[in-house]
Amino acid sequence: MPELPEVETIARGLASRVTGDIIESVWLGEKPEPLKSAASEIVATLEKRRIAGVRRVGKHIVFDLVRNGTPDAMASETKRKDKRSANVRIDGSRSSRARLKVPSALSRKGASPSQAEWIVHLGMTGRMLVCRPEVEIEKHTHAIVTLASGRELRFVDPRRFGRLSVSPAFIAAGLEPLDIELQPFTGLFRGRKTPIKSALLNQKLLSGVGNIYADESLFRAGVRPRRRAASLTREDLKRLYVNLKEVLKEAIALGGSSVADYVDADGEEGFFQLQHRVYGREGEPCLTCKTLIKRVVIAGRSSHYCPKCQK
């Protein structure tokens, strides 16, 4: 569901609410699908850690975790030696609210690095909620993290395309659209025969651009989504570069786009959907020239464009 501006909004909301809090325990649902790392490793990495910060990397939410009372990461401590999975049991019964029990040896000092990261990808329908324990547990809740402040952090994801993982230091595959400079940006598309729309969605090139902002940036740049990436001129690429950054920044300023059911960490909707010029406007007049907006499918994704404004 969420793309870069939505994830940025959610990460900022989470940062303001849970930074400094301490993770007491972790419950993981019975379905293994949302887990990219082993359940035992996630539990062992999260429990008893302090949340030093929350940030966005591409479309990922990254929780920076430090050992409680250890504000600074110990850079040398990056090697992980666990033999812990054997004793960890997953109890999926939501009603009993059973918690994973981690053997005490795992919490001993030195059992894991002092710095770690909890990575959350929301997929299409994932949400992260911060709430009181008495709040009813929604259907499709796959993880509940109990905080020392008495609140809970809950991961809810009906379609289960979201993923949870842990890592010593997560690195996105692609480059950050908001940080990249013009030269590396143009270099990403050199020699690529794939449609520019597909290239923009390729997370190994740029991380964070999704279907809405790909369509919106291409409209602003006046480039048709089916154009071969390599066919874009220097001027096309410059306009795409400028407009992609612009549309992402504007969307972040408005709290992202709420098309279906996206809400941020505080349950607030974004407002950028009101600024969409092509996305979701098939058959409606172009805001610039009144030509009807077309929708085609490119690499399996809906793509919206103005046949007159985009060449």
Partner DNA sequence: AATGAAACCTGACAGC
Partner DNA sequence: TGCTGTCAGGTTTCAT
CA distance 294 to 149: 51
Q: Does 177 bind DNA (CB under 7 A)?
A: no
CB of 214 to DNA, least distance (A): 8
CB of 105 to DNA, least distance (A): 32
Q: Which is nearer to DNA, 148 or 296 (CB)?
A: 296
Among 13, 29, 58, 177, binds DNA (CB under 7 A): 58
Quickly count: other Cβ atoms within 10 Å of residue 138's Cβ: 12
Q: Does 108 bind DNA (CB under 7 A)?
A: no
Give me the 113-142 binding string for DNA, x by CB under 7 A, dash otherwise.
--------x-xxx-------------xx--
Quickly count: other Cβ atoms within 10 Å of residue 203's Cβ: 15
Q: Which is nearer to DNA, 75 or 260 (CB)?
A: 260
CA distance 155 to 17: 15
CB of 174 to DNA, least distance (A): 10
Among 198, 217, 243, 310, binds DNA (CB under 7 A): 198
Among 141, 165, 211, 217, binds DNA (CB under 7 A): 211
Kindly calculate the radius of gyration of the chain based on its CA atoms and give it in whole angstroms.
21
Q: How many residues bind DNA (CB under 7 A)?
A: 39
Among 17, 49, 56, 59, binds DNA (CB under 7 A): 59
Among 61, 106, 201, 247, binds DNA (CB under 7 A): 201
CB of 207 to DNA, least distance (A): 7
Among 101, 159, 249, 308, binds DNA (CB under 7 A): 159
Residues between 5 and 44 that touch DNA (CB under 7 A): 6, 33
Q: How many residues does the chain have?
A: 311
Q: Does 301 bind DNA (CB under 7 A)?
A: yes
3-state secondary structure the chain: CCCHHHHHHHHHHHHHHHCCCEEEEEEECCCCCCECCCHHHHHHHHCCEEEEEEEEECCEEEEEEEECCCCCCCCCCCCCCCCCHHHCCCCCCCCCCCCCCCCHHHHCCCCCCCEEEEEEECCCCCEEEEECCCCCCCCCEEEEEEECCCCEEEEECCCCCCEEEEECCCCCCCECCCCCCHHHHHHHHCCCCCEHHHHHHCCCCECCCCHHHHHHHHHHHCCCCCCEHHHCCHHHHHHHHHHHHHHHHHHHHCCCCCCCCCCCCCCCCCCHHHHCCCCCCCCCECCCCCCECEEEEECCEEEEECCCCCC
CB of 188 to DNA, least distance (A): 11
Active site residues: 2-3, 101, 301
CB of 226 to DNA, least distance (A): 8
Give me the 217-256 binding string for DNA, x by CB under 7 A, dash otherwise.
---------------------------------------x
Residues between 280 and 299 that touch DNA (CB under 7 A): 299
Binding site for DNA (CB under 7 A): 1-3, 6, 33, 58-59, 121, 123-125, 139-140, 158-161, 192-195, 198, 201, 203, 210-212, 256-262, 270, 299-302
